[in-house]
Amino acid sequence: MSAYLIIIRNAVAESASYRLNQIVSFLTISLPLVFAVFLWKTVFNQVDEITNFDLPSTLTYYLLVVLLQDILYSGVKWEIVDDIHSGGLTKWLTKPISYLWMQVSVRIGTNIPYFLVAFILGSVFVFLNLNRLVWTTEPIRWLMFLAAIIMAFFLAFFLSFGFSLVAFWTQDTSGIEFAISIFLPLLSGQILPITFFPKEFQAILVYLPWRYTLDFPIQVYLGTLSSVQIGTGFTVEFLWLVALYFIAKTLWKNGLNIYQAVGG
């Protein structure tokens, strides 16, 4: 069995052993969904549509945000920071595997049990709001949604990996994490769909990578974007994916030189 498959299997087993934590974590991040339901039902009692969003598509948007935001999180990964600062990175440098792809495998394995818990608990919300959600039977939309999610996963990972590698140059990455916690919900569409923002703000956000970690895949599923917007979105997402991969590799190479120079 491939070393990376073994890592995924072990990460699944370890993550699955913390089922209660996963349930509590999901319920915690899903609490805003309850308030969103009441808020948007009130709003759509006054209007029929906001920038291609009606009540069902808005509720579906926020449900998918809850299901996906933890899996597609792009902030600092503290395990990487700890490996760098504690010297634990050394043991991985002696193994015949890539540290970057090892971390990808760990994230995949860790997220599988979480997603299953989120899916089960999210099904309760779906059952209670069945007639208020958007369901699509279009295979092409499901395929585009799946492609956007896979790309978003790697995009979020390379952002997270890059932010975490700053630990090579500083002993404290809490400032970066604090800044991310403030701006990420806004830039990714966690608070509001990007199309709800003023046109001038949208024009900036559609060319930043964070929009493609959450808002774009969800809007692809909902069908709220035009064919041109979807084509442009996939192009921008792919370019960011390539760019961030090489940025992460460069940070890793330069950071590793510093780490080895000080006897890490």
The reported pLDDT for the residue numbered 219 is: 94
**For 153-195, what is each residue's pLDDT tens digit?**
999 999 999 999 999 998 888 888 888 888 888 899 998 999 9
Residue 257 corresponds to which tokens in the numbers above?
């030189």
Question: Token pair 């692809």 is at which residue?
Answer: 220
Cβ atoms within 10 Å, residue 113: 19
Calculate the alpha carbon distances from 5 to 8, 10, 11, 51, 97 in Å. 5, 9, 10, 43, 12
The reported pLDDT for the residue numbered 137 is: 75
The reported pLDDT for the residue numbered 23 is: 66
- The DSSP string of 136-192 is ---HHHHHHHHHHHHHHHHHHHHHHHHHHGGGGT-S--HHHHHHHHHHHHHHHTSSS
Please, what is the Cα angle at 37 between 33 and 71, to 5 degrees?
Answer: 25
For residues 91 and 83, the answer to whether their CB atoms sit within 8 Å is: no
pTM of the model: 0.87
Instruction: Name all contacts of 227-232 with Cβ < 8 Å and 24+ positions apart.
Output: 230/144, 232/206
Kindly list the averaged pLDDT for each block of 10 residues, start to end, along the chain of length 264.
Answer: 79 69 64 77 86 87 86 86 89 88 90 73 62 77 94 95 92 83 89 91 92 95 92 96 95 89 58
Instruction: Give dist(CA 61, CA 90) in Å, integer.
Output: 43
